[in-house]
């Protein structure tokens, strides 16, 4: 089979490999339809330490963590409901030495890295979104258990921002989505997102009033920098800021100590890998089952960009989009 593999110099090359013929216990073999190239696929390729203690093992050094396809074989112990089904995959959800990365024609992954998709949807619409959806789900689980009643999302028009808004609505949990432009705000409102604020001009007073009214004391921050400093000033007492990304680039975060003391603010990081939802097998299985009933929501789709063949991996990795669309590798 064709596969895109990592070399010793942390580059990518197309290789011919033997296709897996039998699924290991607890694993499924998946005939891959497509894989979206996510930000992590690029970052961890050149900076493997950014992935934490270790990058999930992949036999034959096949790369790729997100994708979608159809299950063609079950290993021992895999529920029969996975047989022949199309699935969305986030390989990093369950680490296994028997896994094969997803940038190949036939992948091998634990079934607990797979979300069964409805037959009426196009699997390619979910070839890169399970990472966003699971991140949103695990975050909402964590903040609810911490006693928070509502959420502020600093990158409201990102794929994870869309997933948070959709999943929080299913929980009847209020969300305030911050966006950069009126066009982005209009797009979110058209999708039914109720509380959208454009983070420009003198928006702080509007955010403070709405946050106090809705009790949004948990912040999912994918931006950092100056924006997060502005948001912190508008937060209710006893709010917690969960840092997840840094779209704000190198700009530092500045929060006066008096603000932390007066509002009793907490700042911590969020990692879906460290969440109870992902770390505890029973909770991960329950999460995948719960998301199976919600996944057809169009707000949970992959933001598809142009399609590339495996032979075009260089062009696919170089592709970037201002609106967050992802290059799609087709098998």
Number of Cβ atoms within 10 Å of the Cβ of 53 = 6
User: Are residue 256 and residue 316 in the same domain, yes or no?
Assistant: no
Q: In CATH, what number is assigned to the domain containing residue 116?
A: 3.90.180.10
Any domain includes 282? no
pLDDT for residue 11 is more than 90:
no
For residues 137 and 252, membership in a common domain is answered with yes
Radius of gyration from C-alpha coordinates of the chain: 20
Say whether pLDDT at 249 is over 90. no
Counted domains in the chain: 2
Does residue 91 sit within a domain? yes
Q: Is 53's pLDDT higher than 60?
A: no
Task: Look at residue 324 and tell me if it is in a domain.
Answer: yes
- pLDDT over 90 (residue 51): no
pTM: 0.93
Look at 56 and 72; give whichever has higher pLDDT: 72
Nearest to 122 by CA among 302, 306, 310, 325: 302
Claim to verify: residue 139 and residue 246 sit in the same structural domain: yes
CA 268 to chain centre: 19
Q: How far apart are CA 183 and CA 185, in angstroms?
A: 5
**Which ranges constitute the DSSP H helices of the chain?**
39-46, 130-145, 159-170, 182-190, 204-214, 225-233, 257-263, 276-279, 281-292, 313-318
What percent of the chain shows pLDDT beyond 90? 78
Give the per-residue pLDDT at 250: 78
Does residue 288 sit within a domain?
Answer: no
| Structural domain contains residue 281 | no
Residues 7, 101 within the same domain? yes
Rounded average pLDDT over 79-91? 97
Q: What is the pLDDT of residue 143?
A: 98
Let me know whether 254 and 225 are in one domain: yes
User: Are residues 187 and 60 part of one domain?
Assistant: no
Domain that holds residue 314: 2-129+301-330
Q: Are residues 142 and 125 in the same domain?
A: no
Query: How far apart, in whole angstroms, are the C-alpha atoms of residue 310 and residue 301?
Result: 23
Surface-to-core class of residue 323, CB atoms within 10 Å of its CB (0-12 exposed, 13-18 middle, 19+ buried): exposed
State the CATH number of the domain containing residue 234: 3.40.50.720
The pLDDT confidence band at residue 22, using thresholds 50, 70 and 90, is: very high
pLDDT tens per residue, range 142-172:
999 999 999 999 999 999 999 999 999 999 9
pLDDT in tens, 296-313: 999 999 999 999 999 999
Whether the predicted pLDDT of 52 surpasses 60: no
């Amino acid at each position: 089979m064709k596969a895109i593999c990592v070399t010793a110099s942390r580059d990518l090359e197309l290789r011919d490999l033997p296709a897996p013929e039998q699924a290991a216990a607890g694993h499924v073999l998946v005939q891959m339809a497509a894989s979206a190239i996510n930000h992590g696929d690029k970052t961890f390729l050149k900076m493997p330490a950014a992935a934490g203690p270790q990058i999930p093992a992949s036999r034959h050094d096949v790369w790729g963590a997100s994708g979608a396809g159809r299950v063609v074989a079950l290993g021992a112990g895999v529920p029969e409901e996975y047989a022949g089904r199309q699935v969305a995959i986030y390989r990093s959800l369950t680490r296994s030495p028997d896994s094969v990365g997803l940038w190949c024609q036939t992948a091998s992954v634990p079934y607990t890295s797979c979300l069964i998709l409805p037959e009426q949807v196009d699997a390619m619409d979910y070839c890169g979104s399970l990472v966003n959806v699971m991140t949103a789900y695990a975050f909402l689980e964590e903040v609810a258990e911490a006693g928070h009643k509502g959420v502020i999302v600093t990158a409201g028009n990102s794929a994870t921002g869309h997933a948070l808004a959709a999943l929080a609505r299913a929980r009847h949990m209020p969300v305030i989505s911050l966006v950069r432009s009126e066009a982005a705000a209009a797009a979110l409102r058209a999708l039914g997102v109720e509380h959208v604020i454009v983070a420009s001009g003198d928006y702080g007073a509007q955010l403070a009033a709405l946050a106090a009214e809705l009790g949004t004391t948990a912040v999912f921050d994918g931006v950092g920098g100056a924006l997060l400093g502005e948001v912190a000033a508008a937060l209710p007492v006893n709010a917690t800021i969960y840092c997840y990304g840094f779209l704000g680039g190198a700009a530092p975060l500045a929060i006066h100590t008096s603000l932390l003391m007066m509002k009793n603010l907490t700042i911590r990081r969020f990692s879906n890998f460290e969440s109870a939802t992902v770390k505890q097998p029973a909770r991960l299985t329950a999460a995948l089952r719960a998301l199976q009933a919600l996944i057809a929501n169009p707000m949970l789709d992959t933001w598809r960009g142009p399609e590339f063949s495996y032979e075009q991996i260089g062009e696919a990795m170089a592709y970037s989009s201002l609106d967050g669309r992802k290059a799609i590798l087709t098998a």
